[in-house]
Amino acid sequence: MGILDRFSLQGRVAVVTGGSGPQFGSSLSEGLAEAGATVICASRSLEANEKFAKGLTDKGYDAHAMTVDITDADSIQRLGEQVHERFGDVDVLVNSAVVARGGSFEEQTPEYWEFSASGNMVGLFAMSKAFLPAMAARGSGSIINISSIYGVVANDPSLYEGTDMKQPPDYTFVKAGMINFTRYLANYYGKQGVRANCICPGGYYNDQPGPFVDSYKKRVPVGRMLENDDIKGAVVFLASDASAYVTGTTLMVDGGFTTV
């Protein structure tokens, strides 16, 4: 098998939570589909997922829409059962969905942190429980968790000067925890043929205020913010046989942000 063949996901089934989302999710789903995978986009909005999946099928890719609420363990269990019943074995699970976040340290409350944890922590665990045992029983599978640069380094307050943007503390907390949970899964399931890795994207351009964009571009070595296509190669690599000996790693897709 040639090296380019090892990147192929032909015949693989991939589930992507938040799979039609404008930040990361849609790019992750599209990249996996372009590599040949059957992609199931799952999030709360079936309508948004169906619209996005149709866009991929119109391009000749194999994409499907399902619903899941990552704050609801029963919803996650139903998704797992429905996916296995309809598609059989799942080869790739990408945990990309994130619950709504916002507010500064002064504004956030313990109650909000409980809500955040219900999806960003409990939901991540429940999604893993829904798909990992079958992967382990089969002896193969790839788990890819989408963390953030703010799971590795602290927020840089200077980037937000001159804007009303907030620096939510729950986000950096859960994204840092996701990285170590990924290492746990890699160690726990490694000998059963399941790999677990993390991708930490840098700042994604999403019409942020000009002062923030300008500051970010000056701060990051490559001089620009992350765009849709930037994350595709990383997820295909970690999902495919090209990374067969890679597990427990944290892959920075940040334009060098965390090197400074």
Inform me whether the pLDDT recorded for 65 exceeds 90. yes
Q: How many domains are contained in the chain?
A: 1
Sign of CA dihedral 56, 57, 62, 63: positive
pLDDT tens for each residue of 148-165 = 999 999 989 999 999 999
- Residue percentage of the chain with pLDDT more than 90: 90
pLDDT of residue 253: 98
Tell me what pLDDT residue 260 has. 86
Across all residues in the chain, what is the average pLDDT?
A: 95
pLDDT above 80 (res 101): no
Residue 213 has pLDDT above 90, yes or no: yes
Nearby residues of 182 by Cβ (< 8 Å), 6 or more positions away? 143, 145, 147, 196, 197, 198, 248, 250
* pLDDT score for 37: 98
Distance (Å, rounded) from C-alpha 114 to C-alpha 235?
Answer: 30
Identify the CATH number of the domain in which residue 234 sits: 3.40.50.720
171 is catalytic: yes
Could you list the residue range(s) of the whole structural domain that residue 226 is in? 5-259
Q: Is the pLDDT of residue 102 over 90?
A: no
What's the rounded mean pLDDT across residues 47-75? Answer: 95
| CA nearest neighbour of 184 among 169, 170, 204, 198 | 198
The predicted pLDDT at position 35 comes to 98
Beta bridge partners of 200: 252
Q: What pLDDT does 250 receive?
A: 98
Given the residues 61, 150, 160, 171, the one annotated as active site: 171
